[in-house]
A and B are shown apart, each in its own frame.
Chain A
Amino acid sequence: MLESRRFVIIGFFALVGLIYLFRLFYLQVLDESYSIESSSNSIKRVIEIPFRGQIYDRTGKLIVYNTPVYDLLVTPYKARVEDTLRFCQVLGIERHDFDSLMAAASAYSRVKPSLFLRQLSKEDFASIQDVMVDYSGFEFAKSSLRTYTAPTLANTLGYVSEITKGQLEKQEEPYYRQSDYIGQSGVEKIYENELRGKRGTKFVMQNVSGVYKGPWKGGELDTMAVAGANLYSGIDLEVQQYADSLMVNKVGSVVAIEPKTGQIISMVSAPTYDPNILASRYFSKNYAALARNPYKPLFNRPVMASYRPGSTFKLIQALIGLQEGVITPESGFTHANCPVGCHNHPATGTVALGVTHSCNPYFYNVFRRIIYKNNIQNTFKASAVGLDAWHDAISKFGIGQRLGIDLPSEYKGNLPNKKYYDRFYGEYRWKFSNIYSLSIGEGELLITPLKMANVAAIIANRGYFYTPHVIHGVGDSKKVNPEFLVRHETGVAPHNFDPVIEGMIGAVEAGTARRSRVEGITIAGKTGTSQNKRGDDHSIFIAFAPAENPKIAIAVFVENAGAGGVAAAPIANLIIEKYLTRKITNKALEERMFKSDLMSKVILTGQKKPVSADTAKKKPVATPQPARTNP
């Protein structure tokens, strides 16, 4: 009887075995969650960040490249520092720095490496590398810093810095992680996706304490990092640095464009700073200093600052007048019956002479004819219809529009239309007499230096332009953004440019800019004097050269420097000469421009807006201002 109990016993054994088999089947085959947990336990994704793309100038010179730097990492549990004093001396840190850095590292993890000192230069690394052998638990990790061959183009190139919390949260696809670097402004921001390259992903195994234990699956799922694409710019580094040196101790902008392509040859935002200071381990200190600087060196003036165009705008008025047929090249106007003042100059019997002498009444009349071209009897209605037609024609020059340059925060400027004045006066409550200051580039007009350089390029091209751009080639294949290959027409016939260009040549040869003419080069230029309420007039000059076969179009703005011929024209013409001949003939002029210090004339305020943005939003003066002498 007891013998039969063996079946009970074997049955019990088999039952336990079966239960275990079912349990194992459930755990291993049916329930997937465990393999996921195992992966998250022991397999870690390590991101490998490739070198950022380099940037070249138009002659093939490097502008931006990467310098390897070394981060010093510490693994606290391995760290043995016998003589802290010597250690601190070698690294150039204080004892209390050492203690706090160590404490922070230990607080993060005893077994994982954490950052101890960031971005040691190659020289520092070389000098301490040998000594560090004596201290266990420290290791170096290679990373890289942006480096600039010349201390120039700070705002155009922009800077790279640690991603901000806001950017981290805003990114659509989770690409960046905390403490990753990202292009924050300028070209670095616009071309971030091209410059950053492709990150490599390595799957590595780690043990329970997070210590590296070799590649996972022999690295078969790992992807290689691909270095960022190089960018090819139209910047001429030599000319750029020359322009920089001319703009020292001045506030303003220089924009030089190659008219045939729209490539930017030079772009100065003065005052500027050495971009290397924002690519160092002292980033935050240096950035704070720049942000506090009252001259706002971080403000990219060529594309963000706005001014009244002043007399340079007369060129566009003449072109529209000729195209609309309201004047002929032989039209002449006198100073009679004109509310705008003028200066003494020979009679302006042709368009060319009007431009050469920058005659205010001449363009008052031209603008009047443009506005009243329609045959509407009611002057209010006629003004409204006329202004909108004028607005559309001017828009084609890029005025009041974003040109679409490859730089961030391009300012649109302001080009008033009917709606704009309706808001202030009410519909049909205003007419030409309320808006005539537009005729000479004053009033509610706002443009950026970039736009005026583009206007110079349009005139140089006799009627068309390509969107100005800094970068014309991306990657080894030098791929071009197709938008930069689109020819934008202004609708003004090429023959209408002849008298205007003639006038511009005259302006440099014998007119408002005669004092800065360059021997041997025919420069077509136009001065401008931008009125503003906050100090002396801004000095403006736009030009292109050589007039017969334009290779460079330029706009120079110098804030509070007075008339266009005083500062802007000499600077522009020196840059033109430098670009075209690589040498300077008028050394005296060059010397004067180097030395001229106009910083003291700049009125500083705590305002953040572009310099004259406030005036644009203000209600325009109802009664016409007696315009001042406006050469």
Chain B
Amino acid sequence: MAENKPITKNVDWVVVLIYIACLGIGWVNIYAAVYNPEVNMSMFDLSNNAGKQLMWIGTAVLLIICILVIDYKFYETFSFIIYAVIVFLLVVVLFAGSNINGSRSWIKFGAFSLQPAEFSKLAISLAISKYLSDPAISLTRKLKDYYPIMGIIALPAFLILLSNETGSMLVFASFAIVLYREGMPGFIPAIGMVTAALLIITLLFVKWYIAGVIIVIAGLAIWLMPVMTRRRGGLWATIIIGFVMIGIVFGVDFFMNNVLQKHQRGRIMVLLDPDSDPRGIGWNVIQSKIAIGSGGFSGKGFLQGTQTKFDFVPEQSTDFIFCTVGEEHGFIGSAIVVILFVSLISRLVVLAERQRSRFARVYGYCVAGIIFFHFMVNVGMTIGLMPVIGIPLPFFSYGGSSLWSFSILLFVFLKIDAQRPFTLSRG
């Protein structure tokens, strides 16, 4: 069995190397972001974020060793228990948490603080994987099989919402990817994306014009539709879809003004037109674009970034760490980071697909989806393609909670993957 073979032989070194590369680049850029030319500071000084991050990296390595040592069956067996513990912590934090930046989601240990919400991703991933590992569950046919999944996601989501960490909650949208892979009909994510697209289009153009365009497209679709399809309900389906879309268009107005909070509305408006509020919400986006844009092809050089160094870009070492990469290392540096992430995620999908157990595959997709979502939203917001949502860039952003949670998330999968040769297919 696996216990006889050294784990180093079976672990996927491609992922490990990408992981190490991300940590290394991330750490150097955290140092660059907090670097102050007036103060002679060391990368290893625990009083600055770079030094602290090094400590987090060290502890993460310890965690990884633990994960690799623990029997792989542990995660599947205890998945619901892990889930329950995290949910319990989320409840605890609501009452006993420390208030940092307006969200009551931190547990403090001396100078360091942990955010249970970060670990909810792991909990949900394990729980969903465990639930779907039952071969009787089919996402293709039975609607009722979705209910437990909804529940698994909704419970922590609700608790996180209460502690005012909307950003972390939005990450749960990434589970759509795994559900799609496991059989969820394609039209559901399609509707999601169309809705999001409509939302943005509605904010940019006059509502009646959009309604007109939708009616014309629907008309064309019906006209071009094969007669058989039309007879089999295609006609009505198209008409209903059209009306629903028009409904969304008009609903957006209501949604924007009555459902979203003021700062959330602002973030979306700024995405569409950053200059609408250059000193307020637009500031982050404008300054971050200036930072990245001013990097040019090869960047200003290590520690030479003026935008990030002089606090023009807020949250430089955490959510806006990508700005430092863009400014100091230019297009080359940014492209390397983008390619690293796409390679990592794609590799994870490849690994997930080669799993023999459905649990392992689902979990693999969960990991890939979560990392992808973080990457997409975080980098997207720094280059003005996504609204400003405060979620970290995995392995790059400063922060112990996020580094720990992503490391655990990833290495649990690598551990399971390492044991693949000895696992019998059940899925």
Q: Does A9 belong to the interface (CB within 8 Å)? A: yes
A247 to chain B, nearest CB (A): 59
Contacts A5-B181, A35-B293; is A14 near B309 (CB within 8 Å)?
Answer: no
Which of A38-46, A506-514, A548-556, A599-607 forms part of the interface with chain B? A38-46
Q: Mark A428-458, 1 if CB is under 8 A from B, else 0.
A: 0000000000000000000000000000000
Name the B residues within 8 Å of A14 (CB-CB): 342, 346
Q: Which residues 313-363 in B have Cβ within 8 Å of A in the complex?
A: 326-327, 330-331, 334-335, 338-339, 341-342, 345-346, 349, 353
Name the A residues within 8 Å of B309 (CB-CB): 42, 205, 207, 213
Q: Does B180 belong to the interface (CB within 8 Å)? A: yes
Name the B residues within 8 Å of A24 (CB-CB): 292, 326, 331, 334-335, 338, 383
Contacts A3-B353, A13-B349, A24-B292; is A207 near B331 (CB within 8 Å)?
Answer: no
Q: Does B380 belong to the interface (CB within 8 Å)? A: yes
Which of A26-34, A142-150, A305-313, A375-383 forms part of the interface with chain B? A26-34
Which of A15-23, A117-125, A287-295, A497-505 forms part of the interface with chain B? A15-23
Name the A residues within 8 Å of B37 (CB-CB): 205, 213-214
B331 near A20 (CB under 8 angstroms)? Answer: no
A28 near B338 (CB under 8 angstroms)? Answer: no
Contacts A27-B289, A41-B312; is A9 near B181 (CB within 8 Å)?
Answer: yes
Q: Does B280 belong to the interface (CB within 8 Å)? A: no
Contact pick for A37, options B294, B311, B339, CB 8 Å: B294
Name the A residues within 8 Å of B376 (CB-CB): 16
The chain A residue sitting closest to B178, CB to CB, is A9
B335 near A38 (CB under 8 angstroms)? Answer: no
> Please, how many angstroms separate the alpha-carbon atoms of A438 and B159 in the complex?
109
The chain A residue sitting closest to B297, CB to CB, is A29
A19 near B385 (CB under 8 angstroms)? Answer: yes
Q: Does B3 belong to the interface (CB within 8 Å)? A: no
Contact pick for B310, options A23, A33, A39, A206, CB 8 Å: A206
A214 near B38 (CB under 8 angstroms)? Answer: yes
Q: Does B379 belong to the interface (CB within 8 Å)? A: yes
B290 near A41 (CB under 8 angstroms)? Answer: yes
Q: Is the interface of A mostly helix, strand, loop or mixed?
A: helix
Name the B residues within 8 Å of A209 (CB-CB): 311
Name the B residues within 8 Å of A3 (CB-CB): 353
Contact pick for B311, options A10, A25, A29, A208, CB 8 Å: A208
Contact pick for A20, options B140, B183, B338, CB 8 Å: B338
> Please, how many angstroms separate the alpha-carbon atoms of A27 and B322 in the complex?
14
Name the B residues within 8 Å of A10 (CB-CB): 346, 349
> Please, how many angstroms separate the alpha-carbon atoms of A34 and B349 in the complex?
37
Q: Mark A211-232, 1 if CB is under 8 A from B, else 0.
A: 0011010000000000000000
> Please, how many angstroms separate the alpha-carbon atoms of A208 and B315 in the complex?
13
Contacts A19-B385, A43-B306, A206-B310; is A28 near B341 (CB within 8 Å)?
Answer: no
> Please, how many angstroms separate the alpha-carbon atoms of A35 and B291 in the complex?
8
Name the B residues within 8 Å of A207 (CB-CB): 309-312
Q: Does B182 belong to the interface (CB within 8 Å)? A: yes
B179 to chain A, nearest CB (A): 11
B127 to chain A, nearest CB (A): 21
B183 near A2 (CB under 8 angstroms)? Answer: yes
The chain A residue sitting closest to B344, CB to CB, is A13
A13 near B372 (CB under 8 angstroms)? Answer: yes
> Please, how many angstroms separate the alpha-carbon atoms of A213 and B311 in the complex?
11
The chain A residue sitting closest to B307, CB to CB, is A38
Q: Does A617 belong to the interface (CB within 8 Å)? A: no
Q: Does B296 belong to the interface (CB within 8 Å)? A: yes
Q: Mark B277-293, 1 if CB is under 8 A from A, else 0.
A: 00000000001011111
Name the A residues within 8 Å of B331 (CB-CB): 24-25, 28-29
Q: Does A6 belong to the interface (CB within 8 Å)? A: yes
Q: Is the interface of B mostly helix, strand, loop or mixed?
A: helix
A474 to chain B, nearest CB (A): 41
> Please, how many angstroms separate the alpha-carbon atoms of A29 and B327 in the complex?
12
A20 near B312 (CB under 8 angstroms)? Answer: no
> Please, how many angstroms separate the alpha-carbon atoms of A14 and B344 in the complex?
11
A34 near B289 (CB under 8 angstroms)? Answer: yes
Count A-side interface residues using an 8 Å CB cutoff. 38
A528 to chain B, nearest CB (A): 71
B307 near A20 (CB under 8 angstroms)? Answer: no
Name the B residues within 8 Å of A23 (CB-CB): 383-385
> Please, how many angstroms separate the alpha-carbon atoms of A19 and B386 in the complex?
12
Name the A residues within 8 Å of B327 (CB-CB): 38
B43 to chain A, nearest CB (A): 19
The chain A residue sitting closest to B140, CB to CB, is A2
Q: Mark B97-136, 1 if CB is under 8 A from A, else 0.
A: 0000000000000000000000000000000000000000
Q: Mark B177-210, 1 if CB is under 8 A from A, else 0.
A: 1001111000000000000000000000000000
> Please, how many angstroms separate the alpha-carbon atoms of A42 and B312 in the complex?
8
B46 to chain A, nearest CB (A): 24
Interface centre among A10, A21, A38, A207 (most CB of B within 10 A): A38
A43 to chain B, nearest CB (A): 7
Name the B residues within 8 Å of A6 (CB-CB): 181, 349, 353
B28 to chain A, nearest CB (A): 19
A340 to chain B, nearest CB (A): 83
Contact pick for A21, options B183, B310, B338, B384, CB 8 Å: B338
> Please, how many angstroms separate the alpha-carbon atoms of A28 and B341 in the complex?
19
Q: Does B26 belong to the interface (CB within 8 Å)? A: no
A35 near B296 (CB under 8 angstroms)? Answer: yes
Contacts A20-B338, A213-B310; is A13 near B296 (CB within 8 Å)?
Answer: no
Name the A residues within 8 Å of B291 (CB-CB): 38
> Please, how many angstroms separate the alpha-carbon atoms of A6 and B338 in the complex?
20
Q: Does B295 belong to the interface (CB within 8 Å)? A: yes
B306 near A13 (CB under 8 angstroms)? Answer: no
> Please, how many angstroms separate the alpha-carbon atoms of A440 and B371 in the complex?
106
A2 near B326 (CB under 8 angstroms)? Answer: no
Name the B residues within 8 Å of A41 (CB-CB): 287, 290, 306-307, 310, 312
The chain A residue sitting closest to B352, CB to CB, is A6
Name the A residues within 8 Å of B294 (CB-CB): 34-35, 37-39
Interface centre among A2, A13, A31, A42 (most CB of B within 10 A): A13
A38 near B349 (CB under 8 angstroms)? Answer: no
A130 to chain B, nearest CB (A): 27
Interface centre among B181, B294, B353 (most CB of A within 10 A): B294
Contacts A9-B177, A213-B38; is A31 near B293 (CB within 8 Å)?
Answer: yes
> Please, how many angstroms separate the alpha-carbon atoms of A161 and B297 in the complex?
48
Q: What are 21 of the A-B contact pairs (CB < 8 Å)?
A: A2-B181, A3-B353, A8-B180, A10-B346, A13-B368, A13-B372, A17-B342, A20-B379, A20-B385, A24-B292, A24-B335, A27-B289, A28-B295, A28-B334, A35-B293, A35-B294, A38-B291, A38-B307, A207-B310, A209-B311, A214-B38
Given A23-B383, A207-B312: 7 more A-B contacts, CB < 8 Å: A3-B353, A13-B342, A16-B372, A24-B338, A34-B292, A39-B294, A43-B306
Closest 10 CB pairs of A and B: A34-B293, A38-B294, A207-B310, A17-B342, A42-B306, A35-B294, A28-B331, A27-B293, A208-B311, A214-B37
